[in-house]
């Protein structure tokens, strides 16, 4: 039986964890002036529904129906907007569809996943790859060799949350500069894309019992064709957290990662909040400049 002492011990431990360690926000801000959504998909919109009083002369007129004693907005938002998690059904068709790659994972949406599916000790792999030579519209490949090199420096992976720090979040800026984040790669074909793991790399991570992979790139899949990389993990119990930011503030090992998506029934993905708890106290200097994105 749980006693009051047990409850106090648990709450004290959790309180100490969050107040005696640095908590870092790894989530992109959502704002209509930023490249929140996949190019060509439904754009993110936040529209006033009611305000404190009538505003009939505004570009967006508001006529409160209940006196207007509060304000609220309604949202138009793609499931894969901002920092988000891919559920298996995002790329896996349902098993009775007779489509290629169909299987049981095609029934698994965001609301069906365990609440802590995207949490655990983090292994941050530097994958900026500045010297990679690829053509516009394609992504530099994060290969098994990059994993082996990281393991030679930091030890073998054993079921951690693997986070690829590509540095792509530096392109998440207000438009027009924000076009470099996605549309210049996918729509205009003017520049190469974000570094992305190959299916073989995901296969190696599965051998290491990794079940959650994150990236600060626009997608875990390469710009030219994201399906093979997604299918290397999603049907096999691996979930992906995409469009993170600020991974440069995390050590290669030692941080605890947590992402909680919205509980959207039937969702192929879901935005949410990503954080990391660092093995240092608040105010302790890390020696790394804060490049976190703010609207």
Hey, what domains does the chain have and what are their CATH numbers? 20-37+78-277 (3.50.30.50), 43-76 (no CATH)
Q: Write the pLDDT tens digit of every residue in 238-293.
A: 999 999 999 999 999 999 999 999 999 999 999 999 999 998 766 654 444 344 44
* 71-94 pLDDT per residue, tens: 899 999 999 999 999 999 999 999
Provide, rounded to the nearest whole percent, the portion of the chain with pLDDT above 90.
77
Token pair of 243, please? 């469009």
Q: Which long-range contacts (CB under 8 A, 24 or more apart) does 202-207 make?
A: 202/229, 202/232, 202/233, 202/238, 203/232, 204/144, 204/147, 205/147, 205/157, 205/162, 205/233, 205/238, 206/232, 206/233, 206/236, 206/238
- pLDDT tens track for 23-35: 999 999 999 999 9
Q: What is the pTM of this model?
A: 0.91
pLDDT at residue 56, as a whole number: 86
In this prediction, residue 291 carries a pLDDT of: 42
Of 170, 177, 186, 184, nearest to 243 by C-alpha is: 170
Asked if residue 294 has pLDDT above 50, the reply is no
Whole-angstrom distance, CA of residue 76 vs CA of residue 74: 7
Sign (positive or negative) of CA dihedral 222, 269, 277, 25: positive
Phi and psi at residue 62, in whole multiples of 5°? -125, 130
The DSSP bridge partners found for residue 45 are 76
pLDDT at 231: 98
Q: Whole-angstrom Cα distance, residue 183 to residue 190?
A: 9
Per-residue b or e along 221-236, where b marks 16 or more CB atoms closer than 10 Å to that residue's CB: bbbeebeebbbbbbbe
């Amino acid at each position: 039986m749980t006693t009051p002492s047990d409850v106090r011990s648990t709450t004290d431990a959790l309180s100490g964890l969050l107040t005696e360690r640095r908590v870092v926000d790894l989530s992109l801000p959502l704002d209509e002036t930023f490249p929140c959504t996949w190019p060509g998909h439904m754009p993110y919109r936040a529209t006033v529904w009611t305000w404190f009083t009538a505003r009939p002369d505004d570009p967006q007129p508001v006529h409160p129906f209940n006196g207007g004693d509060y304000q609220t907005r309604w949202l138009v938002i793609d499931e894969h907007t901002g920092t988000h998690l891919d559920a298996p059904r995002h790329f896996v068709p349902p098993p009775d569809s007779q489509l290629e790659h169909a299987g049981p994972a095609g029934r698994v949406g965001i609301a069906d996943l365990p609440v802590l599916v995207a949490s655990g000790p983090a292994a941050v792999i530097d994958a900026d790859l500045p010297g990679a030579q690829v053509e516009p519209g394609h992504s530099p490949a994060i290969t098994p060799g990059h994993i082996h090199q990281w393991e030679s420096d930091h030890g073998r992976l054993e079921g951690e949350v693997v986070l690829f720090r590509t540095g792509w979040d530096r392109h998440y800026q207000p438009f027009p500069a924000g076009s470099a984040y996605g549309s210049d790669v996918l729509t205009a074909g003017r520049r190469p894309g974000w570094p992305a793991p190959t299916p073989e790399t995901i296969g190696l991570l599965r051998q290491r019992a990794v079940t959650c992979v994150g990236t600060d790139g626009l997608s875990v899949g390469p710009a030219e064709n994201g399906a093979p990389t997604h299918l290397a993990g999603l049907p096999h119990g691996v979930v992906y957290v995409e469009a993170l930011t600020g991974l440069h503030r995390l050590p290669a090992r030692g941080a605890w990662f947590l992402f909680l998506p919205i509980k959207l029934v039937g969702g192929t993905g879901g935005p949410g909040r990503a954080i990391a708890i660092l093995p240092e106290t608040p105010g302790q200097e890390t020696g790394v400049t804060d490049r976190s994105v703010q609207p």
